[in-house]
């Protein structure tokens, strides 16, 4: 009640992310691209999608939607930035096979549809493995990998701030 009266924000010490896609969650080190596997952009997790619908893993704001729709950045309410990079070498597809359902600046809720892809088309032209990278400084993360995940439901990351 006082938070509403005085506008004080509640300090959070962790965030929990759900899977942005249905498939299998794996270690980011399994991504066959050193930018991700060597954590050059940050630590995270990766997914081997079995479905082409990608949803918001956390509530926040879309801070970056690449023109090619292959990658999307979300800033959580706690200020942590996350990057979902759909497939590898997908930037070369120039948006073909991708449909965005949000725009830069949009507020999103957990499970809200972000991007739909033609997974078969992508698989023919590129690798469908999808990294989810934390691009902000954080204290630590706990990962739930090597499991089948359901978009918008399965908890995959606990990010300690």
Sign of CA pseudo-dihedral 117, 104, 42, 96: positive
Strands across the sheet with 98-100, in order?
A: 53-55, 113-117, 98-100
**Interatomic CA distance for residues 36 and 34, integer angstroms:** 5
- Catalytic, 160? Answer no
| Active-site residue (options: 70, 85, 101, 160) | 85
**Interatomic CA distance for residues 50 and 47, integer angstroms:** 9
- Active site positions, annotated: 85
């Amino acid at each position: 009640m006082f938070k509403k009266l005085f506008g004080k924000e509640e300090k959070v010490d962790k965030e929990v992310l759900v899977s942005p896609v249905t498939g299998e969650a794996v270690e980011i080190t399994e991504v066959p691209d050193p930018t991700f596997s060597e954590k050059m952009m940050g630590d995270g997790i990766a997914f081997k999608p079995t479905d082409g619908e990608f949803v918001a893993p956390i509530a926040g704001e879309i801070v970056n939607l690449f023109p090619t729709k292959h990658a999307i950045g979300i800033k959580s309410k706690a200020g942590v930035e996350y990057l979902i990079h759909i497939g590898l070498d997908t930037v070369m597809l120039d948006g073909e096979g991708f449909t965005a359902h949000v725009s830069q600046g949009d507020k999103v809720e957990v499970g809200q549809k972000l991007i739909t892809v033609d997974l078969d088309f992508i698989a023919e032209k590129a690798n469908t493995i999808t990294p989810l990278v934390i691009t902000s400084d954080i204290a630590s993360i706990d990962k739930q990998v090597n499991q089948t995940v359901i978009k918008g439901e399965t908890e995959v990351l606990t990010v300690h701030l």
